[in-house]
């Protein structure tokens, strides 16, 4: 028996202790929820058995939480504040087990709460005005070398001077990655190298698009395909015309990157 295994005592049916729901068995210690009141700090039954029991128990007691809520409006809030560790553990566990579902629901939430997120970020920045300044001070060396690398790349990839006003005229003021009008956003808009300079893209009109700061920073050194991946939802926001023009240009000019 290795040290990482622990015996799960198994569990009986809720409401009928004569029937066995799950047999005792050994399983990894990491499969047990924490419990402050036990000797080893873990529940006597594993998470899976606990879940199976809870499922049946909840089915038998559908009104339990509703009743408690009626008796005490703060019931759920109290329960949550008393079980923060349990909730955190449960959520973390759920996230690792269901990465696709989590990714999807996060994307959906973000799409439905664009305004909310923007407001939150603006408020946060206002409340933490020193954050960016401090970060810069602490990372000056890193910034400097990033900036130098970027300049060197740009010098090497420099085909022509690209003027912002001409870009706006060519492509309009819509971020080609998320569809927001960049002129309505609080941050300065960026010139986005569709093919990053670090990947062989040129500093020239055909390779530069209008983008919001967020999208530009997020896309960073990725190609369009790498950035958008295979998630169809992400393509919904992309300005199709700009996207097609970019793809067309990629196919002709950088077939080695374009697949």
The minimum distance between CB 219 and Zn ion, in angstroms, equals 9
Query: Which tokens is 80 given?
Result: 């949550």
Q: Are 130 and 173 in contact (CB under 8 A)?
A: no
The minimum distance between CB 7 and Zn ion, in angstroms, equals 9
Nearest CB to Zn ion, comparing residues 12 and 69:
12
Q: Are 177 and 217 in contact (CB under 8 A)?
A: no
Contacts (CB under 5 A) with Zn ion, residues 198-217? 212, 215
> x/- site string to Zn ion, residues 37 to 76, per CB under 5 A?
---------x--x---------------------------
What is the DSSP track for 104-121? HHHHHHHHHTHHHHHHHH
Tell me how many residues contact Zn ion (CB under 5 A).
Answer: 8
Q: Residue 33, class by beta-carbon neighbours within 10 Å (0-12 exposed, 13-18 middle, 19+ buried)?
A: middle
Indicate the pairing of strand 190-193 with strand 5-8: unpaired
Residue 197 lies near Zn ion (rule: CB under 5 A): no
Residue 178 lies near Zn ion (rule: CB under 5 A): yes
SS3 161: coil
Contacts (CB under 5 A) with Zn ion, residues 7-36? 8
Radius of gyration of the chain (CA): 27
Nearest CB to Zn ion, comparing residues 213 and 247:
213
Closest CA to 110 of 182, 254, 218: 218
Beta-bridge partners for 181? 174
Residue 175 lies near Zn ion (rule: CB under 5 A): yes
The minimum distance between CB 130 and Zn ion, in angstroms, equals 27
The minimum distance between CB 22 and Zn ion, in angstroms, equals 5
Nearest CB to Zn ion, comparing residues 76 and 107:
107
The minimum distance between CB 215 and Zn ion, in angstroms, equals 3
SS3 196: coil
Nearest CB to Zn ion, comparing residues 178 and 208:
178
The minimum distance between CB 158 and Zn ion, in angstroms, equals 25
Nearest CB to Zn ion, comparing residues 46 and 157:
46
User: How many CB atoms sit inside 10 A of residue 197's CB?
Assistant: 20
User: How many CB atoms sit inside 10 A of residue 245's CB?
Assistant: 17
Under the rule (CB under 5 A), what is the footprint of Zn ion?
Answer: 8, 46, 49, 175, 177-178, 212, 215
């Amino acid at each position: 028996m290795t040290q990482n295994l622990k015996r799960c005592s198994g569990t009986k049916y809720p409401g009928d202790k004569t029937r066995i729901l799950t047999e005792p068995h050994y399983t990894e210690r990491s499969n047990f929820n924490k419990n402050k009141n036990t000797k080893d700090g873990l529940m006597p039954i594993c998470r899976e058995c606990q879940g199976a029991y809870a499922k049946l128990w909840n089915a038998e007691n559908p009104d339990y939480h509703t009743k408690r809520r009626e008796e005490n409006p703060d019931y759920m809030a109290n329960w949550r504040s008393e079980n923060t560790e349990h909730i955190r553990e449960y959520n973390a566990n759920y996230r690792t087990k269901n990465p696709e579902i989590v990714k999807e629901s996060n994307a959906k939430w973000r799409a439905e709460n664009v305004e909310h997120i923007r407001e939150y970020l603006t408020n946060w920045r206002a409340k933490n005005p020193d954050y960016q300044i401090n970060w810069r001070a602490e990372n000056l060396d890193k910034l400097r070398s990033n900036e130098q690398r970027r300049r060197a790349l740009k010098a090497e990839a420099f085909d022509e001077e690209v003027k912002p006003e001409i870009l706006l005229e060519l492509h309009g003021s819509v971020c080609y990655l998320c569809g927001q009008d960049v002129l309505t956003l609080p941050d300065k808009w960026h010139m986005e190298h569709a093919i990053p300079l670090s990947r062989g893209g040129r500093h020239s009109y055909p390779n530069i698009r209008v983008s919001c700061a967020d999208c530009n920073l997020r896309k960073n050194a990725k190609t369009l395909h790498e950035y958008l991946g295979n998630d169809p939802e992400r393509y919904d926001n992309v300005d199709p015309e700009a996207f097609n023009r970019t793809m067309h240009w990629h196919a002709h000019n950088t077939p080695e990157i374009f697949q």
